[in-house]
């Protein structure tokens, strides 16, 4: 499993009904707490935040992006 760090982009692996979030929603790690919990910010396409949630690493998957190669 990848180690999470601040500013990593993650996706939920489970629904969070209490927060109104669904599996697959993408957020950004914005804080790491001492007990191994991460604060994740979820925002819309215009950058407006709509949720901040404290999550355990097993509740998310780290996303990886690859820069396109020049043709």
Residue with tokens 């690859």: 66
Q: Which domains does the chain have, with CATH numbers?
A: 9-62 (2.30.30)
pLDDT in tens, the chain (71 residues): 679 999 999 999 999 999 999 999 999 999 999 889 999 999 999 999 999 999 999 999 999 988 776 65
Alpha-carbon distances of 69 from 9, 17, 61, 64, 66, rounded to whole Å: 21, 39, 25, 15, 9
User: pTM for this one?
Assistant: 0.87
């Amino acid at each position: 499993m990848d180690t999470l760090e601040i500013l990593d982009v993650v996706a939920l692996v489970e629904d969070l009904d209490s927060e109104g979030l669904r599996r697959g929603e993408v957020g950004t790690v914005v804080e790491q707490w001492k007990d191994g919990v991460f604060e994740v910010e979820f925002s819309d396409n215009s950058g407006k935040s709509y949720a901040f949630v404290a999550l355990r690493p097993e509740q998310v998957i780290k996303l990886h992006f690859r820069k396109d190669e020049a043709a």
